[in-house]
Structure 1
Amino acid sequence: MTAFIAAAAAAVAIVLVLLMRPYFGRLAPGQSSRAQLNAAIYREQFAKLEQDLGEGTLSQADYAQAKAELQRRVLEDTDVADQQSTVVGAPRKTMIGLALAVPIVAGALYLQIGTPAAMDPLATQAAGAGHGQITSPEQLEQMVAALAQKMEQEPGNSKGWAMLARSYKAIGRPADAQKAFERAGSFIDDDPEMLASYADVVASNAGTLAGKPTELIDKALRVDPNHPMSLWLKGTADFEQKKYPQAIATWERLVAMLQPGSDDARMLEGAINDARSKAGLPAGAVAAAPTGVNIKGTVELDPALKAKASPDDVVMVIARRPGTRMPLAVLRKRAAELPLQFTLDDSLSMDPSSRLSSVREIEVEARISRTGLAKQEPGDLLSQAQTVKLGADGVALRVAKVVQ
């Protein structure tokens, strides 16, 4: 890509020189970007997904979901900082017009008849990962070492320390990852993925999830009560401490989010049955919610907002104690299922110690989100919250508001 850009720039420069002999545009050299490090890590993760799919340890549906999540994170985490600018000295309006028109016209022609996708580094990297073209472990180690050296010169760069921590974790250096997470400080407090990764490396170093790892997991679940990795770790921590009923409840929430019959779902069901066995419960038994401690109703989308929702958006029916923001229970569905009927009961409770059946009045609302995150985001679609009695039937939630 660099050679192509240089050749294209040279061609444009020659044309400008011929048109404006007294004036010359100079291209400022770019600087290397730390996005290369993120790209290398993600290439390895993409390659691992391909390997798991080829070996049959990952289903096609789970592979597609995991790949989409990685692509989303690539787009969020990659900072494109290497840009070049053309500085043209042209005191006359005609010369300025020519200097602007030539590259614009050339670019427009390339977009029409060329291959613009080849210019996208993210697309190129993803394609290379898909064909096994990944950075070697030695190169990755060198890039991580370079970032570590740079961070020693920028001790206050919390975002850089968080990236270094994730890099260390990816190359199997949990002790260094823990130190880097500590240097990141409060920067990761609102990121459940980072908090869960931090908990994972601390537990790996300590040999237990008790103590600080559990504190970090609980913090991650306060940010996003439905964060999959945090739910898995929370259940594992409870299992480790022989709190089998709590582990079962947490893992059952997680397995409900997985595709039925998938490898992950079967693995988790095995863990749940193991916990049931240790708790003296029959395998596969599902604790039924007591009669009358549920809330039933419907969710529909206002026709005026249909264009703002896509079929794969996440519909969340949320139950809270009136006047609080922490959910007691959450039901998640796809927007393609609208209008839908819902039932909220103790099986959907977010915390085994604070069940839906423990309160008499419930505030219920529905929200449609593109990301499925627990926190409201601009662009989410929201219903009016309703306060109802436990056991209410026929609750009608109409999604008719756009979060600004």
Structure 2
Amino acid sequence: MSFLPPWVGLLLALLLFGALAAWVLRRGLARQAANLAQVVTGEDVQAQAHRRIQQQHLADLDRALTEGRLNANQHAAARDELMRQVLLDQAQAGTALQRGGDGVTGPVRWGWIVLLLGALSGLSYLQLGAQQTWWPVPLSQRVQISATSPEQLAEQTRVWQQATQNRPDDAEAWLTLARLQAAQNAHAQAEQALARVLALSPEPDLWIERAQMKALSAGGVYTGEPWQWIENVLREQPRHLNALVLAGSAAWSEKRHAAAQSYWQRALGLVPADSEAAQGLQQALAQAQAASPAAELAQGVAAPPSAAAPGTALAGDARPVIQGEVRLSPELQKHIVTGATLFVYALAEEGSRRPVAIWRSTPTSWPVRFALSDSMGMGAPPVLSSLAQVRLVARISQTGSAQKQAGDLQVELPGVKTGVQGVVLDITGR
């Protein structure tokens, strides 16, 4: 795929056609001038000969009148006829000059111009009139997920899994499957499907998407391949918006607030100032500035710990936004293995299915208290406190995996207002 925008090709074609039209016009004008000069030269010689003959004839008439060979009436009549012939010759000379100037070059010249304008109009239509032919739409922008309910997601996932088996070289099918799996929080499977996509269509946006899925499948840890993929994209495209945003998220998750601030500041310069993306980045920047060591020292606040203990609320800029408890029926408690992990996470009601906050614990008794805060997110906008309401999910993983597995117990609660306390998530089945 060419990296030049389509209007560059149109501009080059316009310049080429303009130069060709100018050459044709110049050549036609030069030929017309030469023909005109030739006609004028020929007409001048002929006119001079006619004038000498007419002057000689007039002198003969005057001599005949003097010698008495013509009377006054005969002389006047002959003189009038001679003057009429002079006027007629002058009129014929002007007509011939005009005819020689027009010649054949006029129709030919205008024919070339019409032909060039027609060709330019056709090219303009192909480039501007049919926008789908401007530029191939990247694969990362062609695939959209329409399913919203769990049932629709499961059904479409089954359909696209079959499609990838039937068409293993279809990158669009693999990407559709990956995004369906991501929408169901099956991040590990989504990352594997994205690996197949990138083998077929290595786009920078897809590398960033894979880095995010890889980090989510590891519980929000970017160390290793996710960071490497992000840095590879930024090395090739330092102004890649998605890479800068995710790099800020990765730095934030590692408590490198100054680095997160730097990445998000660069990303902010790439979006319109009044856009929703700019507002989200400004909120993230405000958090990064408040969490930076300089701000903490100026406020006399100790730096936050490098990692929070599971199941505990963080202090300072990580104040709890939603608090509550998870309950489990006594019948189900009998089936929970020792060391099972409890995940509680918040999702935006609309848009991305990426968790905005994740809490985890290894409970030994029930019910279990939990608290969700902004610091428990992936770092990228939106943050938990910026949303009016969210969907809460509580899941018990028997294996401790961040991805939903067969046999996990789960409950979802939509429409939870942020800032609320005393939320109850009651797990009653799978």
Larger radius of gyration: 2
Question: Which range, TM-score by smaller chain?
Answer: 0.3 to 0.5
Compute the TM-score of the two structures, normalised by the length of structure 1.
0.39
* Structure (1 or 2) with the greater helix fraction: 2
Compute the TM-score of the two structures, normalised by the length of structure 2.
0.37
